[in-house]
Each structure stands twice: as structure tokens, then as C-alpha cells.
Amino acid sequence: MAKFQKISVPKDGQKIEYKNGKLVVPDNPIIPYFEGDGTGPDIWRASQIVFDAAVAKAYGGKRKIAWMQTYAGLTALQNYDKDTVLPQDTLDAITEFKVAIKGPLTTPAGGFKYVCLVCAAEQNELDGKRPDKCVKCSSEWVTPRFRSVNVGLRQKLDLYACVRPVRWFKGVPCPVKQPEKFNIVIFRENTEDVYSGIEFEQGTPEAKRVYDFLTKEMGKKIPFPDSGIGIKPISITGTKRLVRMAIKYAIDHKKPSVTIVHKGNIQKFTEGAFRDWGYEVAKAEFRNQIVTEQELWDDLGGKMPAGKVLIKDRIADQTFQQMLLRPDEYSVLATPNLNGDYLSDAAVAQVGGLGIGPGANIGDGIAVFEATHGTAPKYTGKDQVNPGSLILSGVMMLEHMGWQEAADLIIGGLETTIGQKTVTYDLERQMEGAKKVKCSEFGKAIAANMQSAKVPAGV
Ligand code: NAP
């Protein structure tokens, strides 16, 4: 076992193992978590109550999660040193224990030099010196600007798929007329594309060198020499492992189709290649389980054979339209990084917003489940925001571990609670006659509603 500097490993738990491509989950798995910044601690506390109650009820005490606290963001600054936001300890713990769950983290966005991890305010030097306290909230947790911890986690642990299931829960207010038609799982590539961080700032010697190389040596035309330049790598390896995961998921969960989303009509050697390599992996590795859309029409007269997964592709902009107009024709999407980022948020907006959108970052044998919204800093410490996103991420985690009965209990508890119109402020302000409860009260109501539920079959 790795030696940890600040993390205490629970004595009453065991490691989850990954053997021959499968997770082996003991009855008392150790699961690393970190609460996150801003409202993270509030939503974590509310969610943990729900997870523990679901597992206790589903398995009558035979199974129990041994939670292991790890640190990132503000809690890392508090426990390690003042400039460490993603300690090696945390990376080692997730690598070793395989399944983890996390709250949201502050990510500096602008050109400022420092960021406060309590209120997310960005700031520059004060009188030429690093500020001792935040100019906005006076906290002492101001740290130099850093690259996103979330992106760091994904890259360092090679969590190459961002998985976001998006469905509607009865009673949740939303902007479309038939939200029940929406049930789509998005697999977004997580490690390459324009997110690989290869950018050259306008006006720098590096940008000029790249500009000269492209225009003089490669014969490319760039409209204006005063350009910043970014690079978009998309590889066979990155594409195939992502599309492979999406197809496996569709087969395992009996989903009708996988749609490869791309902008290949314009970006032929990156997005277009993503489509081509996606079809390649489908035909080479899943030949007996899939039918391509072309085969469906050319060879099968449009009649889909039972039990097979349809593999199709759509241009990205068209996909945004289709998700609004004919969402029930889509089931699993496999997308490159940037398009997947946009599509994921647009999709969850259709069914009621980020407060109830779960997500996970998954690699080979390692998975980190997470609330997909940010730290909502203006609500920090107010016990007010909706913990639904983290609770549903926990549902994904339990399903990933094969603890489906506990996952089903939580879904049932959440549906009953929303059905009773007992909701946090974000939903209450859009629901007529709803009762507004605190973040912690919402968690307790879900747990209470599970107690009266029947334990799902199979236990
Ligand atoms: P945000 O934290 O997602 O919050 C924006 C707004 O969304 C909130 O003001 C609130 O809307 C609503 N919201 C967010 N979470 C909610 C919840 N649990 N329940 C109900 N409503 C919720 O976005 P931001 O203010 O742009 O970002 C704040 C910080 O979080 C930034 O540093 C950003 O980089 C970071 N961030 C982290 C992650 C992550 O860790 N995965 C993701 C995104 C952003 P109302 O004001 O209308 O109530």
C-alpha cells in the first residue's frame, strides 16, 4: 500500500481491486472522497447520509462503505502547504482504491494571478505583494493561479471518459414540453482535442514561430498574423478507447444505439477521423453485436435486428437540434472533448439544470464520480443548494460497483421526495406549491423516503 502523508486509511475497510478488466468489490470497500470547495461540504454531508442509508437498507448491514477523506482545493491548502491544491497523496489514494467521489472545486478562469478558494474571487498583487487575505471575503486562503484541478485529475489518472447520464425526474421543472423523452448517456473524450492545453499566446515569440512554421513551411494561410494559436490533437488511441467504452456500456445496459458525434464536415482529420475510427472499433471489436446505420438501410431494409446496437453518426450542430426536437432517437452519444462539454450542459439544461446533473470521469480500472456544477460560492456555508447532482453521481458510483439495489433505492427516494414537492430553493422557485427545504433537509427527506420503500428484487 502507498504511504500517505496526511490520509488515514480506515481500519474497517478493504480495497476494491481491478482484475482481468473487472472491478472486484468487497462488502466493506474503502472509498476515497473529497468534499470540494464552496458549497462542496454542504452537498457532501447531505449526500453521504443518503448513500449510507441506501446501503444499510439494501443490504441489511452486510455491506458498508468505509469512507476515506482525501484533500483537494481548499482542504489541500489547509492540510498540506499553502500552494498545493492537488496533493500526490490524493492521486495515490484514488489510484490505489480505484473508485472515488468528489465535490466541486474552484477553478481560476481569468488573467489574474491569485484566487481565493473560499469565495472564488480572483485578484492581483496588492502593493506589489501576494495578498495575505482575500479582497472580497477576507479569508486567508488565497493561492497563486493554477490549472484546473479537475483537468489535472483527469490527465494524471488518465480518466479518459467523462460520462454524463441525462434523464428527467418526474416533477422537476424544465423548459421543454416532453422531458420524459430524454434519456441519453453522453461519453465525452476527456484527454485530448483543444483541451490538451497546447496554446500559444498572441504576441509571444512562440506564437510567431508556430505562425511562421505553418505559413512558410506548411503552406497554410492564417487570416491574421496577430493570432493566438491552439492545437487540436485527436488520436486513434484516444478515440478508440472512448468509443469502445461507449459501445460496451450500450451493450451491457441494453441501449438501442450509439451515436458518434463529430464536426467532420469541416475538421476532416480530427473530428472526421474520430467518426471513422469510431466505426472501425465498432466493426472490428463488436461485429456480432452491432449494426451500422448504413448496413441498416443498405442490407436490412431499415429493420433493426433484435438485441443489436445501432451505430450511427451525426454532425455536432445537428445533434444540438436533434436533442431538442427528437431526443428519443438518441440513447448513447460518443463525442470528442469540446463538443461533449457543450452537449453535456445543454442536455442537462433540457431536463432541469445542473443541480441534478450527475457525472463521472472514468479510465481503465479507475473512476472518479463528481457533482458536475461548480462551487456556487455565493451559497457557501448556507446549507442551501441542491445536493442532487452529487447524490445522483453516487448512484452512478453504486451502479459502477454493482450495488444496483442501493442505487435503485436512492432513485426511488429522490423521485418520491420531488413528487412530494419537498425541494431545495432552485427547484422551489420554479414549482408551484412546493416546500423549500435546506440542502441537509433534502438529503434527510430522501433517506427517510427510502426507509418506506420496498428493497428492490435481487437482494
Ligand atoms: P457554479 O458554481 O456552477 O454556479 C453557478 C450557479 O448555478 C449558481 O449561482 C446557482 O444558480 C447554480 N447552481 C450551481 N450549483 C447548484 C446547486 N448544487 N444547486 C442549485 N443551484 C446550483 O458556476 P460558477 O459560479 O461559474 O463557478 C464557481 C466556481 O466553480 C468557479 O471557480 C468554477 O471554475 C468552478 N467550477 C467547478 C466545476 C467542478 O469542479 N466540476 C464545474 C464548474 C465550475 P443561482 O445563482 O441561480 O441560484
**Residue-wise DSSP of 232-297:** ----HHHHHHHHHHHHHHHHHTT-SEEEEEE-TTT-IIIIIHHHHHHHHHHHHH-TTTEEEHHHHH
Mean pLDDT for the stretch of residues 223-249: 97
Which residue is closest in CA terms to ligand 1's atom 9?
Answer: 376
- Ligand 1 neighbour 73 (Cβ under 6 A): no
Side-chain-side CA neighbours of 221 within 13 Å: the count stands at 1
Residues 195-205, mean pLDDT to the nearest whole number: 92
At 100-136, the pLDDT tens digits run 999 999 988 767 889 999 999 999 988 888 898 998 9
Q: What number of residues does the chain have?
A: 459
Give the bridge partners for 334, in sequence order.
Answer: 187, 260
pLDDT of residue 452: 75
Q: Residue 153 C-alpha to ligand 1 middle, in angstroms?
A: 19
* Residue with CA closest to ligand 1 atom 44: 374
Between the CA of 120 and the centroid of ligand 1 the distance, in Å, is 11
CA angle at residue 358 from 354 to 364, to 5 degrees? 140
Mean pLDDT value of segment 225-231: 96
pLDDT tens column, 30-68: 999 999 999 999 999 999 999 999 999 999 999 999 999
Q: Is the C-beta atom of 264 inside 6 A of ligand 1?
A: no
Residue keyed to cell 504576441:
203
Does 104 sit in the ligand 1 pocket, CB within 6 Å?
yes
Query: How many Å apart are CA 425 and CA 431, to the nearest integer?
Result: 10
Q: Does residue 155 line the site of ligand 1, with CB under 6 A?
A: no
Top pLDDT among 110 and 369 is at: 369
459: pLDDT strictly greater than 50: no
Distance between CA atoms of residues 342 and 359, nearest Å: 14
Lowest mean pLDDT among 65-79, 125-139, 172-186: 125-139
Other Cβ atoms within 10 Å of 421 Cβ, number: 15
pLDDT at position 195 is 86
Q: Ligand 1 pocket: which of 373, 385, 392, 436 to mutate (most atoms <8 Å of CB)?
A: 373
Give CA–CA dist 406/459, Å, rounded.
10
b/e map 191-209, b = 16+ CB within 10 Å: bbbbbbeeebeeeeeebee
Q: Are strands 22-24 and 367-371 parallel, antiparallel or unpaired?
A: unpaired
Q: What angle do CA 288, 166, 360 make, to 5 degrees?
A: 80
Nearest CA owner, ligand 1 atom 27: 374
Q: What is the pLDDT at residue 112?
A: 85
Q: Which atom of ligand 1 is nearest to the CA of 149?
A: 40
389 closest CA partner among 397, 377, 381? 397
Query: What pLDDT was estimated at residue 269?
Result: 97
DSSP letter at 7 equals P
Place of cell 427517510: 448
- pLDDT in the model for residue 355: 76
pLDDT at 336: 98
Joined together, the cell numbers standing for residue 55 give 446501503
Query: How sure is the predictor about 148, in pLDDT bands with cuts at 50, 70 and 90?
Result: confident
**Cα 119 to averaged position of ligand 1 atoms, centre (Å):** 12
| Rounded distance between C-alpha atoms, residue 329 and residue 60, angstroms | 40
Query: What percentage of the chain has pLDDT greater than the value 70?
Result: 98
Give the H/E segment covering residue 375: none
Ligand 1, atom 48, lies closest to the CA of 426
Ligand 1 within 6 A of CB of 355: yes
Q: What's the CA-to-centroid distance between 376 and ligand 1, angstroms?
A: 4
Query: Mean pLDDT across the chain, nearest whole number?
Result: 94
Closest CA to 397 of 19, 2, 33, 20: 33
Q: If you average pLDDT over residues 400-426, what whole number do you get?
A: 95
Q: Which three cell numbers stand for residue 231?
A: 492545437
Give mean pLDDT, residues 410-436.
Answer: 94
Q: What is the C-alpha to C-alpha distance for residues 56 and 51, in angstroms, rounded to an integer?
A: 9
Asked if residue 242 lies in contact with residue 334, where contact means CB atoms within 8 angstroms, the answer is yes
Our answer on whether the CB atom of 428 is closer than 6 Å to any ligand 1 atom is no
Task: Supply the residues annotated as catalytic.
Answer: 195, 263, 317, 341
Average pLDDT (380-408) is 96
Q: Ligand 1: which atom is nearest the Cα of residue 102?
A: 40
Instruction: Tell me, using a 6 A CB cutoff, whether residue 368 lines ligand 1.
Output: no
- In this predicted structure, the answer to whether residue 146 has a pLDDT above a threshold of 70 is yes
C-alpha 374 – ligand 1 centre gap (Å): 3
Whether the per-residue pLDDT at 171 is higher than 90: the answer is no
pLDDT tens per residue, range 268-297: 999 999 999 999 999 999 999 999 999 999
How far apart CA 163 and CA 393 sit, in angstroms, is 10
Task: Give the Å distance between the CA of 373 and the centre of ligand 1.
Answer: 5
Backbone angles phi, psi at 202, to 5 degrees: -55, 140
The reply to whether ligand 1 has any atom less than 6 angstroms from the CB of 374 is yes
Backbone φ and ψ of 62, nearest 5°: -70, -30
The runs of H, that is alpha helices, within 141-267 are: 149-156, 205-212, 236-252
Nearest residue by C-alpha to atom 23 in ligand 1: 374
| Ligand 1 proximity of 105 Cβ (cutoff 6 Å) | yes
For ligand 1, the distance from its centroid to the CA atom of residue 104, given in whole angstroms, is 8
User: From ligand 1's centre to the CA of 25, what distance in Å?
Assistant: 33
What residue's CA is closest to ligand 1, atom 30?
Answer: 374
| Residue 457 predicted with pLDDT over 60 | no
Residue nearest to atom 10 of ligand 1 (CA): 376
**Amino acid 455: pLDDT:** 62
